[in-house]
């Protein structure tokens, strides 16, 4: 059994044997869980090595732009030739594109001859346009001159080269089909130009296939799952100004405003929070309706730049927005009904928030302290996102292994070659997937670690305030926050590393189990085989157990680490025993207080997401060079970053409430139901009969 905490955090014996008020939480403390601190440091070393691999092998341009027949990434200034302005991938030979779309064909679109252009070619209205290969060999043209001539030097070719061009072997190829820029790829429109086709036939060119497969083959490549995922990741890199403003600066401002309003306008904050939450949920959902095309004319389009308004291209991104819009509608309805259900409990939340407001008023440094972990996390996220973009693009560009029977004129060899028909593609190995998973887990663990550090510092500061009877005395450090931070850095970093690792680990397992459950549910609501049923119900039970574990070891364990200086597991044991023995006293307080604070975090994060929608709707991200494929990922990232920032600042209120309540319960247990160390401001609130009834029912 644990002893009374007063000996640890309230008083200590002086040299003459008399009890004196202590310099809070300094007695009998030593370093805990050092092994896990070593593990955390080793993990960070692994993160740096892992990120270095991404920076060395990755190229974020690969996420957006395709490869030409030489294996160069379109838009790459380091390619040969320089492709810094040539970002669009264009397939030269329409017959190869058609062949790649045949059902039983062994010819793949990646092996069709493609080059990088500045814009997509269109057929001439009265003649035949040509697109020629990069100038090389006997073609004495600079790349800039080639671009100025609309990629056409057919008139300068020798009779031999003209003849190979008419055989669709290059170096020049006819523009028979119009094309449009779809996500930096020139997609053919399966409507051949009659004028261009007539000129081609008059010149004696080989037969060119006219079939809708020319359209579908390229569209299938653009719409593949891997291509969509790459574009989503690239969207995050393109929208970095939005992430900084809406994921960093805005939630910082809103969180500080919310804390100040809690300090000075506590009575109305629960009502304001609930009303604002519902308004933001409706706004957030309506933005998805707008981008999905169900309201207005702001639907996303995969086509970049000017195009025929009657030509439409389908995209998976639009389907994903439709699904998210439906999901948000369901969440919005549930949220509105839940808000109505808790209206009668809001008065209880007001009394709970008064406790935190009084503490914040006495220990005012608590409002400023979260800025420290905020800036640490900001630096970490900038490094992490940059490394993530490089890791996702760190595949190896290799020549395909194909048996295609095709020939093309190679300018540098000055002859037709049939040996280099295979194109290039990006190959990903299993260790790259493992590196990405390690990077994702590292982000979650680091985030949980810094949030846990912030929570522990706040808990130590509030405990100092409580166990000194809420008064300022010479024995309490001038800045309790920095004193608590010093204790954390000196004694408890290992315990915090362990706690954050456990939370990250069980959350990861829960994610895996949810994925298994969803997969089984897709196959059948309840699997028919007994193995499937056992796996299905086991995943459900395990998921609930994991959720309960997270709630048990989260904030209260960090509070007891700050108060007692014990190891993580010992602190969890003390916290669990204290909660169980006082469950009727603190249960309702924690539940209703956490609900209002959770809604407050959602208000901040939803505000970040709504402003992200507004920023992403500007011309820069809608139709220009930095056009994003969909606002889905940038908005979700802004929402997540906003929630993390809100968690840091709202943790001041959360940890104040939990620390005060746990300290009050312990104080009451040690003194036969009458708290001896409760500060006057706290007693003034808790002694009100109505509020005490709510706390003890």
Mean pLDDT to the nearest integer, 174-196: 89
Confidence of residue 248 (pLDDT cuts 50, 70, 90): very high
Q: Which of 659, 657, 480, 465 is nearest to 560 (CA)?
A: 659
pLDDT of residue 397 exceeding 80, the answer is yes
Query: In terms of DSSP H, where are the helices of 239-344?
Result: 240-244, 250-264, 269-292, 316-341
Which has the minimum average pLDDT: 108-117, 538-547, 687-696?
Answer: 687-696
Beta strands at 88-91 and 19-21: parallel, antiparallel or unpaired: unpaired
In sequence order, the β-bridge partners of residue 179 are 188
pLDDT of residue 74 exceeding 80, the answer is yes
In sequence order, the β-bridge partners of residue 427 are 396
Token readout for 156 is 């300068």
In the chain, the percentage of residues whose pLDDT exceeds 70 is 81
C-alpha 556/C-alpha 576 separation (Å) is 8
Rounded to 5 degrees, what are φ and ψ at 235?
Answer: -60, -35
**Residue pLDDT, tens place only, 21-31:** 343 454 567 88
| DSSP letter for each residue of 233-267 | HHHHHHTHHHHHIIIIIHHHHHHHHHHHHHHH-TT
Centre a 10 Å sphere on the Cβ of residue 380 and count the other Cβ atoms it contains: 18
Q: Which of 625, 635, 619 is nearest to 65 (CA)?
A: 625
Token readout for 334 is 């549930």
Mean pLDDT to the nearest integer, 448-474: 78
C-alpha 157/C-alpha 176 separation (Å) is 20
Which has the minimum average pLDDT: 192-196, 242-246, 347-351, 566-570?
Answer: 347-351
Would you say the C-alpha torsion 636, 642, 646, 648 has a positive or negative sign? Answer: positive
| DSSP letter for each residue of 424-460 | EEEE--HHHHHHHHHHHHHHHHHHHHHHHHHHHHHHH
Q: Which of 543, 559, 472, 457 is nearest to 507 (CA)?
A: 543
**Residue pLDDT, tens place only, 594-627:** 788 888 999 999 999 999 999 998 888 877 678 8
Going from the C-alpha of 23 to that of each of 121, 248, 472, 655, 658, the distances in angstroms are 77, 37, 12, 21, 22
Q: Which of 81, 74, 70, 195 is nearest to 127 (CA)?
A: 195
User: Strand, helix or coil at 427?
Assistant: strand
pTM equals: 0.85
Confidence of residue 48 (pLDDT cuts 50, 70, 90): very high
Rounded to 5 degrees, what are φ and ψ at 503?
Answer: -60, -45
Q: Which of 124, 123, 145 is nearest to 134 (CA)?
A: 145
Token readout for 150 is 């609309």
Q: For 672, left (φ over 0), alpha (ψ -120 to 50), or beta?
A: left
Q: State the residue for tokens 């004696």.
A: 204
C-alpha 529/C-alpha 537 separation (Å) is 12
pLDDT of residue 539 exceeding 80, the answer is no
CB 273 within 8 A of CB 596: yes
CB 108 within 8 A of CB 122: no
Burial 106-130 (b: 16+ CB within 10 A, else e): ebbbbbbbbbbbebbbbbeeeebbb
Burial of 341 (0-12, 13-18, 19+ CB in 10 A): exposed
pLDDT of residue 638 exceeding 80, the answer is yes
C-alpha 660/C-alpha 463 separation (Å) is 7
Q: Which of 155, 202, 200 is nearest to 174 (CA)?
A: 200
Mean pLDDT to the nearest integer, 251-261: 90
C-alpha 403/C-alpha 417 separation (Å) is 14
Going from the C-alpha of 178 to that of each of 123, 129, 190, 223, 348, the distances in angstroms are 6, 11, 8, 20, 67
Burial 299-335 (b: 16+ CB within 10 A, else e): ebbbbbeebeeeeebebbbbebbbebbeebeeebeeb
Going from the C-alpha of 416 to that of each of 95, 170, 427, 561, the distances in angstroms are 18, 9, 28, 75
CB 65 within 8 A of CB 89: yes
Token readout for 315 is 């995209």
C-alpha 258/C-alpha 243 separation (Å) is 21
Beta strands at 172-174 and 130-132: parallel, antiparallel or unpaired: antiparallel
Quote the pLDDT of residue 556: 81
pLDDT of residue 405 exceeding 60, the answer is yes
Cα–Cα–Cα angle for 652, 654, 660, rounded to 5 degrees: 95
Mean pLDDT of the chain: 81
C-alpha 185/C-alpha 305 separation (Å) is 12
In sequence order, the β-bridge partners of residue 180 are 187
pLDDT of residue 344 exceeding 80, the answer is no
Q: State the residue for tokens 């000996």.
A: 7
**Residue pLDDT, tens place only, 484-512:** 888 888 888 998 998 888 888 877 777 77
C-alpha 34/C-alpha 14 separation (Å) is 30
Quote the pLDDT of residue 46: 93
């Amino acid at each position: 059994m644990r002893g009374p905490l007063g000996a640890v955090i309230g008083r200590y014996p002086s040299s003459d044997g008399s009890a004196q008020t202590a310099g809070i939480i300094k007695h009998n403390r030593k370093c805990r869980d050092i092994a896990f601190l070593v593990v955390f440091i080793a993990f960070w070393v692994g993160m740096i090595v892992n990120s270095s691999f991404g920076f060395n092998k990755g190229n974020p341009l690969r996420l957006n732009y395709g490869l030409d027949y030489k294996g160069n990434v379109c838009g790459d200034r380091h390619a040969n030739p320089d492709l810094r302005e040539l970002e669009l991938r264009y397939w030269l030979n329409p017959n190869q594109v058609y062949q790649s779309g045949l059902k039983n064909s062994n010819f793949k679109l990646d092996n069709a001859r493609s080059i990088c252009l500045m814009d997509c070619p269109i057929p001439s209205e009265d003649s035949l346009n040509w697109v020629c290969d990069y100038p090389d060999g006997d073609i004495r043209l600079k790349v800039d001159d080639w671009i100025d001539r609309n990629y056409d030097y057919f008139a300068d070719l020798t009779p031999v080269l003209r003849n190979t061009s008419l055989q669709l072997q290059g170096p020049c190829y006819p523009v028979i089909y119009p094309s449009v820029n779809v996500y930096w790829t020139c997609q053919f429109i399966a409507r051949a130009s009659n004028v261009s086709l007539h000129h081609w036939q008059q010149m004696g060119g080989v037969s060119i296939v006219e079939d809708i497969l020319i359209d579908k083959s390229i569209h299938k490549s653009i719409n593949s799952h891997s291509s969509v995922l790459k574009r989503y990741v690239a969207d995050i890199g393109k929208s970095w100004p939005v992430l900084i403003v809406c994921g960093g600066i805005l939630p910082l401002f809103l969180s500080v405003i919310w804390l100040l309003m809690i300090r000075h306008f506590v009575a109305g904050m629960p009502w304001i929070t609930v009303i604002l939450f519902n308004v933001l949920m409706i706004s957030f959902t309506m933005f998805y309706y707008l981008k999905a095309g169900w309201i207005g004319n702001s639907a996303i389009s995969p086509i970049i730049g000017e195009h025929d308004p009657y030509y439409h291209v389908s995209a998976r991104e639009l389907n994903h927005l439709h699904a998210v819009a439906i999901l948000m509608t369901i969440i919005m309805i549930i949220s509105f009904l839940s808000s109505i259900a808790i209206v009668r409990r809001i008065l209880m939340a007001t009394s709970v928030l008064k406790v935190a407001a009084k503490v914040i008023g006495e220990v005012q440094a608590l409002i400023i302290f979260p800025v420290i972990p905020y800036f640490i996390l900001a630096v970490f996220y900038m490094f992490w996102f940059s490394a993530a973009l490089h890791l996702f693009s760190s595949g190896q560009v290799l020549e395909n292994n194909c048996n295609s029977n095709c020939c093309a004129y190679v300018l540098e060899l000055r002859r037709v070659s049939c040996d280099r028909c295979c194109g290039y593609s990006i190959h990903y190995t299993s260790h790259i997937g493992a590196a990405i998973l390690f990077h994702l887990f590292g982000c979650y663990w680091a985030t949980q670690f810094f949030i846990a550090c912030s929570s522990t510092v706040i808990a130590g500061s509030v405990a100092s305030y409580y166990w000194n009877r809420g008064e300022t005395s010479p024995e309490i450090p001038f800045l309790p926050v920095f004193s608590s931070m010093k204790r954390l850095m000196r004694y408890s970093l290992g315990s915090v590393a362990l706690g954050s690792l456990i939370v990250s680990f069980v959350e990861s397992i829960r994610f895996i189990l949810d994925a298994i459950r969803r997969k089984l549910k897709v196959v059948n609501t309840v699997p028919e085989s007994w193995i499937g049923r056992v796996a299905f119900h086991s995943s459900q039970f395990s998921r609930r157990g994991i959720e309960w574990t997270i709630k048990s070891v989260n904030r209260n364990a960090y509070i007891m680490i700050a108060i007692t200086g014990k190891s993580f597991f010992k602190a969890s044991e003390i916290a669990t025993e204290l909660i169980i023995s006082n469950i009727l006293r603190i249960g309702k307080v924690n539940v209703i207080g956490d609900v209002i604070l959770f809604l407050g975090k959602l208000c901040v994060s939803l505000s970040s997401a709504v402003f992200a929608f507004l920023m992403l709707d500007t011309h820069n991200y809608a139709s220009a060079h930095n056009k994003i494929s969909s606002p889905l990922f940038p908005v979700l990232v802004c929402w997540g970053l906003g929630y993390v920032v809100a968690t840091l600042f709202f943790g001041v209120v959360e940890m104040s409430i939990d620390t005060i309540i746990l300290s009050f319960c312990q104080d009451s247990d040690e003194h036969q139901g009458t708290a001896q160390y409760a500060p006057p401001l706290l007693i003034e609130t808790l002694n009100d009969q109505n509020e005490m009834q709510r706390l003890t029912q």
